[in-house]
Amino acid sequence: MTPAKPTFAPKNPDFETRVRDSFNRQPFMHHCNITMPVVEPGYVEMRVDHDHALTQQHGFLHGGMVGTVADCTAGYAAFSLMRAEDSVITVEYKINMLAPAHGRTMLGRSRVIRAGGSLMICQSDLYVLNGAGDAATEKHCATALVTLMVLKDTPDAPPE
């Protein structure tokens, strides 16, 4: 069961544009065909369709891909609550693989569970989807707890 979405007020009214702009500057996200369909204050969803190039020897999505989605959804969930002058970086995460990531699509959902001034804590839950439409099923494949640092007065983009 997916925990309830948080109810946080963003410090930046233009948070969604800022999050999406940052995401779009990450070549790795495009390389892996990761999308970000949902951006809300303190909550983000990402999706990646099954691609043979992203699998391990058994045909499951590689654990590195599962970790990538867990980390990035958390990073952007936290980033959505920050001031326009601030940025974010992961300082630690712990992931539990609950089942093989074997499905047509992997869905990551992350929510901020503590929005501190220096550190933010997020929970990322990852699911594999099989089937289509109303017959689609979700299987919980991983959970991560992610700690992120607020980089005060630090631009999100590299200096030119």
- What pTM was computed for the model? 0.92
Q: 142: part of which helix (H) or strand (E)? A: strand 137-151
**Which amino acid is it at 13?**
P
For the chain, the structural domain boundaries read 15-151
CA quadruple 60, 63, 64, 70: dihedral sign: positive
Position 135 scores a pLDDT of: 77
Per CATH, the architecture of 15-151 is what?
Roll (3.10)
pLDDT at 71: 98
CA distance 110 to 148: 13
Residue-level pLDDT at 95: 98
Distance, CA of 136 to CA of 122 (rounded, Å): 27
Q: What is the pLDDT of residue 130?
A: 87
Decide: 42 and 81 in contact? Cβ < 8 Å.
yes
pLDDT of residue 1: 53
Per-residue pLDDT of the chain (160 residues; tens, 9 = 90+): 555 666 899 999 999 999 999 999 999 999 999 999 999 999 999 999 998 989 889 989 999 999 999 999 999 999 999 999 999 999 999 999 999 999 899 999 999 999 999 999 999 999 999 877 777 889 999 999 999 999 999 989 876 6
pLDDT at residue 66 in the model:
96
Question: 48: which 2 tokens?
Answer: 């990646």
Q: Classify 117 as helix, strand or coil.
A: coil
